[in-house]
Structure 1
């Protein structure tokens, strides 16, 4: 009965978000309360569990999300993201432009939200498409595949960070596993962008070529329009990349430092590797990109924008954690254990399939990942999956598939005047290729003995 109630509640949750257009924040809290009452926890205890779960999930994740967004905002202000794109293109060459764009997206989306990053890189994308005489959709979706790969799989982006917290996984191990899985997902998306999407020509392509035909060769080689407001302040590529990679390295080192070790270096490694400290160091390093232009007023403005952009995701993460906390305390784990033999054959794929269903229904990576993690967390032992592998499976499934209920779908429609029918054949199919590519990487890790 508990399983039936859970499945019904998840079904109602999906209908409420996608069909009734109820905001996910309200839907998660309302369904969590109804689930608790239906399972016999009582209304008072259900409310207590919701508030406990909400507070427990956000006790450290909220701060990290804001710090990660600050790094992205500073990169946007200083033109660091554009510098990374140009440097990548210089290394790869024009013929390998899709690979360069994919790698660029892979890097800059670690601290930056996908929609924001794509808008930020729009002038770069259009200039590079014009220079290389390639169609904008092929170049743009090459960038999008890198952006989406890290957004769904690499902390400290909100979704993977929330999943790590809900599943109680080791963040350093999740980073190492998902680094490989994200590259495989990007490879799947790039394959579709190169072999199909680059052949699709839009009316926007003619407009872009005419617009950039009169621009100087120097401006095109930089990939930024001459009136761009985000010109680099003569910083090096290393300074642009340092705020992104330094926190990841610190977190990884801290996670693999033995907790029982009490010597000075181990203590320091765990301190610097805590996500809060690591991301704070990333913000400090990011301010180096301002050079002499740094000021308290600019930092205050960046902080305000970061808080505004992360507020919705923070609340959504808290609501997902509250829903998951009710599930954990409902006794459903014991119920699932009774059917371990029946679900054992598909147990490993369960997180992937569930995340795929929720993404296809809601169109939101974050909602899909948080909801799936909340449902899967109590059953990890029964399914025989580590928290880290479950996080990789959930992230892989969250790619499948994006269509008309995805905000990024309509972002591409607006920016490039791409008809929905064209995007269904390009962007939607690309998301499926990414999901299957990521799943292939997880299965390979399993064959290598990783559980």
Structure 2
């Protein structure tokens, strides 16, 4: 049975990564070859399938992911991220400090990848908690919730961007619906969940944490950083461009007015790749040249950003290769046949498969990619909204982060928690995001 072969492949992947400590990319490629042979694929075709999966996934993602990494790095290196965080903290005041952290983390999370955002914001959270004499976890949970939600639901983050490409969904719609789902999810998983966590593990709110491993942090005097308005505008520009084009597109479909050169131009500017190029060029000016920073220094930031995501790109490519093996090996068709005639929504099915794979594999992006290989053959027989299937896959791929996920260990070490405390804070937080995300996606599916 194909599903037994896939299960054995996933167990082999876990053994290679966790037991034998093999590199994740290498493990994915080895397992892809093994599963392809076990599924009875012709040896002559296996190499081509793996190349097609790797190239097809990276071909769609590399441009957006690479430019997004550069944009985030420029905002971080210029002090723009620090300006956003500190201005919001001052504006919201001590009483509403959690909401200031949520707002800052959400804006910064749109522009920066999860790990980068975490490393950038944790020293700021530590400094605020010391200054206001509040628990670091009281601020840390809302920060992690906002970063995780943007990572799971909003392009240009790798998960939603890759899955949108695989499902041929409109990336602007993914972004627009992602925002609608993200806002209430952050509210529940952030400030609301913090109250529950305080009752579940009160001792963890007395911990002082440890960020020595982050090394020397680049800090700025506030007057040296770019203005708040221009920092927020630069961070959110890709979102503004893609969302505007999507809204215009949806209005055109609803009202039915004729196409013209203005609409063509709006669609071109709102295309994910074009929006990222425009946003990066604006950032080079606003975060660099306008502040008299030499172009060479600005380009150094861009180069550093790309070197840091090299291995992540390969891992995503490896996930794409595994996904293609599942499709070409007939597993996707087998699953489609299995659920033929079922009344289960592809949205719910995508979430369930992604959740199972996330718990097994640890990596949200690899879980999402593998899910796409199983779900794609079903989409032809369904009228489900593709953007919502993308978001459901993303939501499922966030659930129950535990010992096989790097995020679990980062959160544990930075906040100085025990294993039990990390399960009852971080793991539970990720599960709440996943389940709330699914609930709001299903609710939205009634209207779109």
Match of 2:287 in 1: 289
Count of matched residue pairs: 432
Shift of 1:174: 0.6
Match of 1:277 in 2: 274
Does the 8 Å CA contact 1:76/1:230 hold for their aligned counterparts?
Answer: no
Partner-residue secondary structure (3-state), 2:47: helix
Shift of 1:347: 4.7
Q: In angstroms, what is the RMSD of aligned CA positions?
A: 2.8
Does the 8 Å CA contact 1:137/1:197 hold for their aligned counterparts?
Answer: no
- Tell me, in whole angstroms, the C-alpha distance in 1 between the residues paired with 2:12 and 2:342: 23
- Tell me, in whole angstroms, the C-alpha distance in 2 between the residues paired with 1:346 and 1:265: 37
Per the alignment, do residues 254 and 49 of structure 1 end up closer, same or farther by CA in structure 2, a change over 3 Å counting?
Answer: farther
Are 2:229 and 1:238 aligned?
A: yes
Match of 1:193 in 2: 194
Unaligned runs of 5+ in 1: 209-224
Match of 1:202 in 2: 206
Are 2:45 and 1:45 aligned?
A: yes
Match of 1:406 in 2: 405
Shift of 1:231: 4.8
Shift of 1:7: 4.1
Match of 2:376 in 1: 377
TM-score, with length taken from structure 2: 0.87
Unaligned runs of 5+ in 2: none
Q: How far does the alpha carbon of each residue in 1:289-328 deviate from its partner, in whole angstroms, 9 at most, with x for none?
A: 2333322211221121111122122112222222222333
Does the 8 Å CA contact 1:404/1:420 hold for their aligned counterparts?
Answer: no
Match of 1:169 in 2: 169
Per the alignment, do residues 119 and 335 of structure 1 end up closer, same or farther by CA in structure 2, a change over 3 Å counting?
Answer: closer
Q: How far does the alpha carbon of each residue in 1:39-82 deviate from its partner, in whole angstroms, 9 at most, with x for none?
A: 33301112112112222222241121111111111111121112
Per the alignment, do residues 93 and 231 of structure 1 end up closer, same or farther by CA in structure 2, a change over 3 Å counting?
Answer: closer
* Higher mean C-alpha deviation, range 174-183 or range 141-150: 174-183
Per the alignment, do residues 348 and 391 of structure 1 end up closer, same or farther by CA in structure 2, a change over 3 Å counting?
Answer: closer
Match of 1:152 in 2: 152
Per the alignment, do residues 436 and 230 of structure 1 end up closer, same or farther by CA in structure 2, a change over 3 Å counting?
Answer: farther
Per the alignment, do residues 161 and 403 of structure 1 end up closer, same or farther by CA in structure 2, a change over 3 Å counting?
Answer: same
Q: How far does the alpha carbon of each residue in 1:207-259 deviate from its partner, in whole angstroms, 9 at most, with x for none?
A: 99xxxxxxxxxxxxxxxx99824756353222101122221222234445479
Match of 1:218 in 2: none
Match of 1:117 in 2: 117
Shift of 1:18: 4.1
Does the 8 Å CA contact 1:155/1:161 hold for their aligned counterparts?
Answer: yes
Shift of 1:15: 4.4
Within a 5 Å distance, the mapping from 1:8-407 to structure 2 comes to 8-190=8-190, 191-197=192-198, 199=202, 200-204=204-208, 228-229=219-220, 231=222, 233-255=224-246, 257=249, 263-287=260-284, 288-290=286-288, 291-341=290-340, 343-345=342-344, 347-382=346-381, 385-407=384-406
TM-score, with length taken from structure 1: 0.87
Partner-residue secondary structure (3-state), 2:380: helix
Partner-residue secondary structure (3-state), 2:417: coil
